Amino acid sequence: MSLASATRKGAGATAPAARTLAFLSPWLIGFSVFFLYPLISTIYFSFTKYNGFGSPTFTGLKNWDYVFNDLPAFWQGLRNTLWLVVVMVSLRVAFGLGIGMLITKIKSGVGFFRTAFYLPYLAPPVAATVAFAFLLNPGTGPVNHFLGEIGLPQPGWFADPNWSKPALTLLAMWGVGDLMVIFMASLLDVPKEQYEAAELDGAGPFQRFRYVTLPNISPIIMFAVVTGVIQTMQYYTQAFVAGRVAAGNAGNSGQQFEPGYPNGSTWTLPQMVYNLGFQRFNYGAACVVALVLFVISMAVTSVLMRRKSGFMASDD
């Protein structure tokens, strides 16, 4: 082989690689700027003392020790966040699936019900939360008034530490329109022949759901769970607004508000990241909490993806 041919071959091999790289470059740039750089920075700052002025100074594991051993609010935030991940995500998926199944089954008024259940999802989170806080006001809200009229207990909702997270879960379930739509699409995509075959084999409604519907829509359920977990790990707006409105502090403009009302029950880790990072300017500790969130998100996602083969539909 001559040198010239070798060079031509080398150049020919480089060209596709460069082309591939060029096509990948938007993603690579985005990945580097919005993921890799923040990740490396966050890891770095978690080992430093930095308040935004001057330069960061290396402090070793001091921030980690502080967050895990001297900051009780961290554990409270972690418990609240995990509670929301487990309860809110499960109920949202179950409710979204249930509504989707109901709407695919009804014979008339499909458009109306589909719109009615989807519309709340379009409501801005702040407006929806404020509306819920007023509806669920323990003393003056119509919900408790109604519950009282029919002789049922009247919870404290957003004003009661035991009820604030269930109230947030109700709010999340009210806005389940996104899941309803994707579940409806996947349910309508299940081959009718499979239901007919199952019926011929004597399968009842529950068995048809268990052995026909579920295997077909399992990738969608997985998608709903994984994205739900990620969203809930970042839960901020609704918890913050609900706490502020219920505390009677919504009109207190120009003043900083300590989130978590009542009694830290709506205090989530993303709020803690903001509070430590942007209100207390303890960037090191904030980065530790952010990394904990990241690790938990990755771990939960990995476990879920391993247990079920990702977004791929079952072959059987």
Relative to beta strand 48-49, strand 57-58 is antiparallel
204 forms part of the interface with another protein (CB under 8 A): no
261 forms part of the interface with another protein (CB under 8 A): yes
Given 5, 11, 12, 53, the residue binding another protein (CB under 8 A): 53
Given 42, 104, 194, 237, the residue binding another protein (CB under 8 A): 42
Q: Which of 35/58 has CB closer to another protein?
A: 35
Q: Which amino acid is it at 268?
A: T
234 forms part of the interface with another protein (CB under 8 A): yes
In sequence order, what are the beta bridge partners of 48? 58
279 forms part of the interface with another protein (CB under 8 A): yes
CA 157 – CA 149 distance, rounded (Å) = 17
234 phi and psi angles, rounded to 5 deg: -105, 20
- State in angstroms the smallest separation of the CB of 278 from another protein: 6
Cβ neighbour number for residue 45 with a 10 Å cutoff: 21
* Choices 94-102, 179-187, 193-201, 278-286 (CB under 8 A): range interacting with another protein: 278-286
Here the tokens at position 308 are: 């079920």
- State in angstroms the smallest separation of the CB of 205 from another protein: 31
DSSP string, 39-107: HHHHHHHTTEE--SSS--EE-TTHHHHHHHHS-HHHHHHHHHHHHIIIIIHHHHHHHHHHHHHHHHH-S
Q: Which of 73/147 has CB closer to another protein?
A: 73
75 forms part of the interface with another protein (CB under 8 A): no
149 forms part of the interface with another protein (CB under 8 A): no
* Choices 11-19, 102-110, 209-217, 294-302 (CB under 8 A): range interacting with another protein: 294-302
How many residues bind another protein (CB under 8 A)? The answer is 75
305 forms part of the interface with another protein (CB under 8 A): yes
Cβ neighbour number for residue 285 with a 10 Å cutoff: 25
Given 47, 63, 95, 177, the residue binding another protein (CB under 8 A): 63
Given 121, 125, 130, 138, the residue binding another protein (CB under 8 A): 138
Three-state DSSP class for 290?
A: helix
